[in-house]
Amino acid sequence: MTTKTSSKINLKSLSRTNLEAFCADMKLPRYRADQLFQWMYQKEVNEFSEMTNLSKPLRDQLSEVAIVGTIGTASTQKSKDGTIKFLFELHDGHKVEAVLIPDFDEDGKANRLTVCVSSQVGCVFGCSFCATGKMGLLRNLTPGEIADQAIKINTISEEVYGKGITNIVYMGMGEPFHNYEAVIESACIITDPKSLGLSPKRITISTVGLTKHIMKMADHGHKFRLAVSLHAANDTKRDKIMPINHSLNLSNLKNAVQHYFTVTKNPLTYEYLLFDNFNDSEDDARELADIARWAPSKVNIIMYNNVAGVTLKRAGEERLDKFMRQLRDLDVRATVRRSRGDDIDAGCGQLAIREGVQKGKTIAKETA
Ligand code: SF4
């Protein structure tokens, strides 16, 4: 998606290829695209006047036709456990959230710093447990708006934890594969050596199960990791909480993940929110184990951050222990993911909703 502001083109709305095309249109050599890219995504410079390796006439020429749009930090909240939640404001006033989640070693030093980024303002898929799903979809983010979340948080991470980010997960607001091109492009920006230079293996893109795109990512040779938000292990239960399952059910998902593994040879991750008395029984564990065997995989059992107005609630510790024991007995590679930032509403979409996304509130009301 190309964003124009007052007839000027926003260079951060362009893919790398389109940035090169923009330079070619301006009769600039290819290395100028590299320089612009580096200024925007490595040095975080948004004013042409500060791009000192460009000549003054070129800077003036660029200022006449283009801008470097950026996202602003509207607010931050830090949790007792070190998690930092960011609310970013986009050029049109919409807000999205991202979270920095540190994992500490025995000496209390942060060794893994994961950023969870948003890919859309709101979401159209309406999963019943999700705060973002209540907003409806307002718009897609551009590649630059997605990459900027990680780049800005990387700088904060260096300041706060003395180390840059190590992993990125696309699990914030929105369904990443519903904004496929921008998401893939943003991940390519983040992995570019002239940006953060993160390894593709450290980037995980999550989906509710958009099968065409799971296969497309594999077929296009992208090395990013795949996570599937499963949350229920049979169609009857999944239909109840994830409307996507009506059109793309578990049998469609099975074909897609098997194709993904055949092509990439990469194992995948299933995300499974454990809800009290809904998907935490012995039968559920057995069905989940069957799914985990479709292709080499691991399962993250996630303790849910309860959301106001949602009937599904986080499962208790006893039920969690029993469920984990059953999975282990069934040879499933499963890990418990404790919810982080409980004291700051760090669950998907909670902060943006609390801060009030006006249009989103209207949509949620209209579709209620
Ligand atoms: S869980 Fe993901 S796909 Fe479902 S409504 Fe929330 S953001 Fe959308």
Q: Which residues' Cβ are closer than 6 Å to ligand 1?
A: 123, 125-127, 130, 132-133, 173-175, 208, 229, 348
Closest-CA residue, ligand 1 atom 3, reads 175
Q: What is the pLDDT of residues 105-151, one digit of tens each?
A: 998 899 999 999 999 999 999 999 988 888 899 999 999 999 999 99
Q: Which residue has the higher pLDDT, 211 or 346?
A: 211
Instruction: Give the rounded percent of residues in the chain with a pLDDT score beyond 90.
Output: 82
Ligand 1 atom nearest 208 alpha carbon: 3
348 has a pLDDT exceeding 60: no
The CATH number assigned to the domain holding 134 equals 3.20.20.70
Q: Are residues 103 and 176 in the same domain?
A: yes
For the question of residue 348 being annotated catalytic, the response is yes
Specify the amino acid at residue 148.
D
* Residue 365 confidence (pLDDT): 29
Q: Are residues 200 and 228 in the same domain?
A: yes
* Residue 141 confidence (pLDDT): 96
Q: Are residues 255 and 294 in the same domain?
A: yes
For Cα atoms 143, 179, 47, give the angle at the middle one, nearest 5 degrees.
Answer: 15
The CATH number assigned to the domain holding 33 equals 1.10.150.530
Q: What is the pLDDT of residues 273-310, one digit of tens each?
A: 999 999 999 999 999 999 999 999 999 999 988 888 88
* Residue 346 confidence (pLDDT): 61
Residue at a domain's end among 67, 82, 108:
67
Q: Are residues 283 and 355 in the same domain?
A: yes
Query: What is the pLDDT averaged over residues 47-65?
Result: 96
Q: Are residues 184 and 200 in the same domain?
A: yes
Q: Is 297 helix (H, G, I), strand (E, B) or coil?
A: strand
Between the CA of 220 and the centroid of ligand 1 the distance, in Å, is: 25
Q: Are residues 99 and 33 in the same domain?
A: no
Ligand 1 atom nearest 206 alpha carbon: 2
Q: Are residues 58 and 82 in the same domain?
A: no
Whole-model pTM: value is: 0.91
Q: What are phi and psi of 52, to 5 degrees?
A: -70, -15
Residue 22 belongs to domain spanning: 7-67
Query: What is the pLDDT averaged over residues 334-345?
Result: 80
For the question of residue 366 being annotated catalytic, the response is no
Residue 297 lies in a domain: yes
Between the CA of 172 and the centroid of ligand 1 the distance, in Å, is: 9
Ligand 1 pocket: which of 175, 179, 231, 367 to mutate (most atoms <8 Å of CB)? 175
Closest-CA residue, ligand 1 atom 5, reads 133
Lowest pLDDT segment from 244-258, 326-340, 349-363: 349-363
Instruction: Spell out the long-range contacts of 277-283 with Cβ–Cβ below 8 A and sequence spacing 24 or more.
Output: 277/315, 277/319, 278/232, 278/237, 278/241, 278/312, 279/231, 279/232, 279/233, 279/237, 280/315, 280/319, 280/320, 280/323, 282/326
Residue 319 lies in a domain: yes
Catalytic, out of 23, 130, 188, 348: 348
Rounded to 5, what percent of the chain is helix, strand, coil? 45, 20, 35
* CA proximity to 270, closest of 337, 319, 187: 337
Ligand 1 atom nearest 172 alpha carbon: 7
Q: Are residues 168 and 189 in the same domain?
A: yes
Q: Are residues 48 and 142 in the same domain?
A: no
Specify the amino acid at residue 350.
Q
Ligand 1 pocket: which of 123, 304, 312 to mutate (most atoms <8 Å of CB)? 123
Q: What is the pLDDT of residues 189-244, one digit of tens each?
A: 999 999 999 999 999 999 999 999 999 999 999 999 999 999 999 999 999 999 99
Measured CA to CA, the distance from residue 86 to residue 100 in angstroms comes to 8
* Residue 351 confidence (pLDDT): 53
**Per-residue CA distances from 190 to 100, 153, 165, 222, 358 (Å):** 16, 12, 11, 13, 31
Residue 222, Cβ neighbours under 10 Å: how many? 18
Q: What is the pLDDT of residues 153-176, one digit of tens each?
A: 999 999 999 999 999 999 999 999
Residue 355 banded pLDDT, cuts 50, 70, 90: low
Catalytic, out of 20, 97, 175, 271: 97
Measured CA to CA, the distance from residue 265 to residue 251 in angstroms comes to 20
Q: Is 1 helix (H, G, I), strand (E, B) or coil?
A: coil
Q: Are residues 227 and 314 in the same domain?
A: yes
Give the chain's domain count: 2
Measured CA to CA, the distance from residue 257 to residue 227 in angstroms comes to 10
Q: Are residues 255 and 190 in the same domain?
A: yes
Q: Are residues 336 and 261 in the same domain?
A: yes
